[in-house]
């Protein structure tokens, strides 16, 4: 679909190899109970999970930290290609990133040693979101930012 | 005061271009003249200069005249701001992938893993 090319370059790209079959990994992306078990940051749990995993439906998680603070996040399933990828919109409902809509694409790829899972978080082509949040920088930002961390002190001294 | 785009906006727009990222990657190794930057990218001088204008506007680099050369140098501040904005997302997914690895390693996972294949 043309929609894919309309989205901005990835903001963020992460990949990891899992020693399981592609079908097994994809199942873990589709199954509501499984998603509830893993799709949250460290130190949080998933208190509510609605994950219909059908294109056009909405998903929603309520993540809770150790203080009981709730972080609801949700979005819509945009594209699902079995054992290939799932693409969804991603919007935090509250807190610092509230209302910022991004697109997350999780894709799986068979490898000799298992399955490579790649996450790409992308901006939207929407002008409003673009103005507000300036999407559209590339994956190599990850590499550059490592450099940035190492050169921080030098620049700080200059400024 | 001049009304610019939001600083973060300019940073991300500057970073959206692969050539500009390549220039930044080169500058992350150390300062370089415009000529040195142009050479490996097989680009005309004006083309490089245009990219450098965008990078300078986003405060990602600074240029300094030294004799007849213009020396370019990385300014990591803007990049750090962009990176800080992204950091919670990165952390979220890294944690989630850690969780997923543990989850998939459990023999008694949430669902039975069928083994036909």
Number of structural domains in chain B: 1
> How near does any CA of chain A get to the CA of B83, in Å?
6
Domain residue spans in chain A? 10-158
Burial B78-117 (b: 16+ CB within 10 A, else e): bbbebbebbeebbebbebbbebbbebbeeeebbeeeeeee
Q: What is the pLDDT of residue A154?
A: 44
Identify whether B4 is part of a domain.
yes
Question: If you count residue pairs, one on A and one on B, with CB atoms under 8 Å apart, how many are there?
Answer: 129
Query: Per-residue pLDDT tens for A74-120?
Result: 999 999 999 999 999 988 887 766 777 788 999 999 999 999 999 98
Angle between helices B76-105 and A22-30 (to 10 degrees): 100
- Judged by CB atoms closer than 8 Å, whether chains meet at A14 and B93 is answered as yes
What kind and span of H or E run contains B24? helix B18-27
Six-digit token string for A46: 């998933």
Identify whether B115 is part of a domain.
no
Give B83's contacts in chain A (Cβ within 8 Å): 141, 145, 148
Identify whether B77 is part of a domain.
yes
Beta strands (DSSP E) in A5-154 are 10-18, 44-50, 58-65, 70-81, 85-92, 101-111, 114-122
- Judged by CB atoms closer than 8 Å, whether chains meet at A18 and B104 is answered as yes
Identify whether B76 is part of a domain.
yes
* B48: CATH: 1.10.10.10
Identify whether B64 is part of a domain.
yes
Residue B38's domain comprises 1-104
> How near does any CA of chain B get to the CA of A8, in Å?
8
Give A119's contacts in chain B (Cβ within 8 Å): 93, 97
CATH code linked to domain A10-158: 3.30.530.20
Identify whether B53 is part of a domain.
yes
Identify whether B63 is part of a domain.
yes
Q: What is the pLDDT of residue A114?
A: 95
Q: Which of B9, B94, B96 comes nearest A39 by C-beta? A: B96
Task: Collect the ranges in chain B with pLDDT lower than 50.
Answer: 1-5, 109-117
Minimum Cα–Cα distance from A106: chain B residue: B93
Kindly state the percentage of chain A with pLDDT values over 90: 55
**DSSP helix/strand/coil, B70:** strand
């Amino acid at each position: 679909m043309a929609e894919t090319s309309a989205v901005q370059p990835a903001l963020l790209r992460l990949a990891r190899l899992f020693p399981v079959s592609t079908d097994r990994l994809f199942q873990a992306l589709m199954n509501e109970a499984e998603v509830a078990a893993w799709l949250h940051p460290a130190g949080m749990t998933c208190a509510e999970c609605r994950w219909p995993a059908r294109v056009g439906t909405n998903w929603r998680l309520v993540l809770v930290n150790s203080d009981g603070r709730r972080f609801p996040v949700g979005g819509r399933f945009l594209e699902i290609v079995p054992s290939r990828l799932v693409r969804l919109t991603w919007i935090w409902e509250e807190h610092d990133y509230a209302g910022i809509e991004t697109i997350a694409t999780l894709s799986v790829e068979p490898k000799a040693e298992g399955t490579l899972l790649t996450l790409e978080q992308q901006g939207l082509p929407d002008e409003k979101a673009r103005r507000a949040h300036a999407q559209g920088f590339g994956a190599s930002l990850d590499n550059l930012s490592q450099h940035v961390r190492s050169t921080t002190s030098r620049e700080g001294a200059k400024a | 005061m001049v009304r610019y785009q939001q600083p973060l906006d300019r940073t991300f727009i500057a970073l959206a271009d692969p050539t500009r990222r390549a220039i930044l990657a080169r500058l992350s190794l150390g300062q370089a003249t415009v000529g040195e930057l142009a050479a490996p990218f097989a680009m005309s001088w004006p083309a490089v200069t245009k990219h450098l204008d965008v990078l300078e506007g986003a405060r990602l680099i600074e240029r300094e005249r030294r004799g007849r050369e213009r020396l370019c140098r990385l300014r990591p501040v803007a990049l750090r701001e962009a990176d800080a904005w992204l950091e919670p997302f990165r952390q979220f997914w890294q944690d989630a992938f850690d969780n997923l690895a543990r989850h998939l390693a459990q023999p008694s996972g949430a669902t039975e893993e069928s083994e036909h294949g």
